[in-house]
Amino acid sequence: MAALSPLLRGPALLPIIQADSPDEAVQIAAALQQGGIGSVEVVLRTRQALAAITAIRDALPELLVGAGTILSAGDALAAKAAGAEFLVSPASTPALLDAMLATGLPLAPGVATPSEIAMALEAGIHEVKFFPAHLSGGIEMLKALRGVFQQVRFCPTGGISQHNVADFLALPNVFVAGGSWLTPVTLVKAQAWSQITALAQQATELANQQKA
Ligand code: 3PG
């Protein structure tokens, strides 16, 4: 299994795309790309999520596209078949880690506790999603984890915003910050693509200042 971090493109940001149609997903992705984003995570929370992954890959080949909210072996296989280039899950169990690893895709499984991090390490995984980041202790928790898990790097997600993203990215054990703050439902439903681009531009500037 290749690590996820070397594959990621653009700033150290991983916006979430939750779309009701492949067309909507492509519009969101294009707006993000216009704002400098190079990698996106399409969450498997809508019926059209798999089709959205395929559509983004076809329409925007320079964007790296992964699948998020992987909760089962079936999700992992379906995401790979749809063209996902990496997998993200909100949780870790031995079976879920095995299933994700079996796809051969880079991955960031979800952890929120030291024991879950240890489980990921036992499976040979050193890059994980820290979820829900804010509610699980946020920056102070990541600092504490760094002392013990020196070889582990995190993608904090859950409660990341324009106000705190720079603080998360300033941590040496954070390789990318993820979340939905660049793609708010209100802007998607209003088809306010230029506003999504503007949010992405601001976040890209913040991210590049921290992780240039
Ligand atoms: C996720 O799927 O990682 C979370 O739902 C993102 O959380 P957020 O909406 O607070 O960014």
Six-digit token string for 61: 């080949």
State yes or no: ipTM above 0.85.
Answer: yes
Is-catalytic flag, 140?
Answer: no
Could you give the residue ranges of the DSSP H alpha helices within the chain? 22-34, 49-59, 73-82, 94-102, 114-122, 138-148, 165-169, 185-189, 193-210
pLDDT of residue 1: 78
Q: For the chain, which residues make up each domain, given as ranges?
A: 13-210
Ligand 1 centre from 159 Cα, in Å? 7
pLDDT of residue 2: 87
Cα–Cα distance for residue pair 143/29, rounded to 1 Å: 32
Cα–Cα distance for residue pair 63/119, rounded to 1 Å: 31
CA end-to-end distance (rounded Å), the chain: 26
Q: Which of 13, 16, 128 to mutate to test the pocket of ligand 1 (most atoms within 8 A of CB)?
A: 16
CA-nearest residue for atom 11, ligand 1, is: 179
CA-nearest residue for atom 8, ligand 1, is: 158
The answer to whether the CB of 92 falls within 8 A of the CB of 100 is no
The answer to whether the CB of 164 falls within 8 A of the CB of 133 is no
> Exposed, middle or buried by CB within 10 Å (0-12, 13-18, 19+), for 169?
buried
| Cβ-count burial 142-152 (b if 16+ within 10 Å, e if not) | beebbeebeeb
* Strand partners for 127: 153
- Of the candidates 41, 85, 116, 127, the residue annotated as catalytic is 41
| pLDDT block averages, 10 residues each, the chain of length 212 | 94 98 98 98 98 98 98 98 98 98 98 98 98 98 97 98 97 98 98 98 96 72
CA-nearest residue for atom 3, ligand 1, is: 157
The CATH classification number of 13-210 equals: 3.20.20.70
CA-nearest residue for atom 9, ligand 1, is: 180
Cα–Cα distance for residue pair 46/53, rounded to 1 Å: 12
Is-catalytic flag, 129?
Answer: yes
Q: Ligand 1: residues within 6 Å at CB?
A: 16, 43, 68-69, 131, 157-160, 178-181
pLDDT of residue 212: 67
pLDDT of residue 52: 98
* Strand partners for 16: 41
